[in-house]
C-alpha cells in the first residue's frame, strides 16, 4: 500500500550555468532530495520570487509540512554589515536573499518546522539579527572534520558528543543571533549547529549532512529526525 509522504518545501537556488540546460537554472542538489526521500518525505522545490505573490507563503505552502533551506552562494553582506564587501564573496543574488529571509520570517511567525543547511544557517542567523564573518582562513571548503556536540540535543538528530561532518563554506557565524542556541562547534570555534532557544521548530547545521548521508547513518539521522518530528506533529 502506498503511504502519503510528508511534504517538504525546498526553496531553489539560482545557478548561473547548468550544463544540461540552455539557460541559467534553479536547482536543488540531488543528495539533499534523496536524503529527505530516504527519511520518508516528498521534497518539492519552490521558485524564489521577490514580488508580493512570491512572498505569499501561506498560500504557497498550503499542504506542506516543513521547510528545508539548503546551501548555496553567499548572502549579500550589506544585509548584516556596513563594512566593504570582501573580494571572496561570490554569486550574490538579491532576489534569492529576499526570498530566503522572507520565508524564514514567515516560518518563525507561524511556528512552521524549518531545517537549515550551510547557507541556510547563515541566512537564518542574519534574519534573526546576527552577523557573519565574510571570509575566514583557512576555510572549511572541501573539508571533513569532527565537530563537538556541545549540547546533547535530539533536535539535530545526533545523540553523540562528536560527529565527523562534510563542510564546504568560507563564511561563518560571527555574532550569534538572540533566539538561537549553539549546540555544536568545530575545533576552531566555528558554529556548526544551532537551534531555536524558544522555537523548537528551528534546527540548523553549518555542515552538509547530505554529502555523506547515503553511507553514514549518523548524517542521515539529521534528516530522519526532522521528518519524524513532522510525522509526530501530524498525528
Domains in the chain, please, with CATH? 6-234 (3.40.50.880)
Which one from 118, 140, 167, 169 is the annotated catalytic residue? 118
Q: Which residues of the chain have pLDDT under 70?
A: 1-3, 17, 152
Contacts 24+ apart (CB under 8 A), 85-89: 85/134, 86/134, 86/135, 88/134, 88/135, 88/170, 89/134, 89/135, 89/171
Which one from 140, 153, 169, 208 is the annotated catalytic residue? 208
Dig out the grid coordinates for 135 from the structure: 571570509
pLDDT computed for residue 1 by the predictor: 40
Dig out the grid coordinates for 199 from the structure: 522555537
118 assigned to active site: yes
Q: How many whole angstroms separate alpha carbon 90 and alpha carbon 101?
A: 18
pLDDT computed for residue 159 by the predictor: 85
pLDDT computed for residue 22 by the predictor: 75
pLDDT computed for residue 3 by the predictor: 67
Which one from 140, 153, 167, 210 is the annotated catalytic residue? 210
161 assigned to active site: no
Indicate the pTM of the whole model: 0.95
145 assigned to active site: no
Amino acid at each position: 500500500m502506498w503511504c502519503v509522504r510528508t511534504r517538504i518545501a525546498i526553496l531553489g537556488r539560482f545557478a548561473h550555468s547548468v550544463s544540461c540546460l540552455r539557460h541559467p537554472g534553479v536547482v536543488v542538489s540531488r543528495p539533499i532530495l534523496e536524503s529527505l526521500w530516504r527519511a520518508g518525505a516528498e521534497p518539492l522545490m519552490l521558485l524564489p520570487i521577490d514580488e508580493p505573490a512570491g512572498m505569499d507563503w501561506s498560500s504557497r505552502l498550503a499542504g506542506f509540512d516543513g521547510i528545508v533551506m539548503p546551501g548555496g552562494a553567499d548572502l549579500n553582506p550589506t544585509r548584516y554589515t556596513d563594512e566593504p564587501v570582501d573580494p571572496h564573496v561570490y554569486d550574490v543574488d538579491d532576489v534569492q536573499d529576499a526570498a530566503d529571509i522572507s520565508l524564514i520570517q514567515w516560518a518563525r511567525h507561524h511556528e512552521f518546522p524549518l531545517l537549515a543547511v550551510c547557507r541556510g544557517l547563515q541566512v537564518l542567523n542574519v534574519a534573526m539579527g546576527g552577523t557573519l564573518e565574510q571570509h575566514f582562513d583557512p576555510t572549511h571548503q572541501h573539508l571533513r572534520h569532527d565537530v563537538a556536540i556541545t549540547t546533547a540535543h535530539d533536535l539535530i538528530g545526533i545523540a553523540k558528543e562528536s560527529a565527523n561532518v562534510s563542510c564546504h563554506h568560507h563564511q561563518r557565524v560571527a555574532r550569534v543571533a538572540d533566539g538561537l542556541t549553539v549546540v555544536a562547534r568545530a575545533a576552531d570555534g566555528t558554529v556548526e549547529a544551532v537551534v531555536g532557544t524558544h522555537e523548537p521548530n528551528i534546527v540548523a547545521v553549518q555542515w552538509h549532512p547530505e554529502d555523506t548521508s547515503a553511507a553514514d547513518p549518523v548524517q542521515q539521522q539529521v534528516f530522519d529526525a526532522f521528518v519524524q518530528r513532522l510525522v509526530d506533529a501530524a498525528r
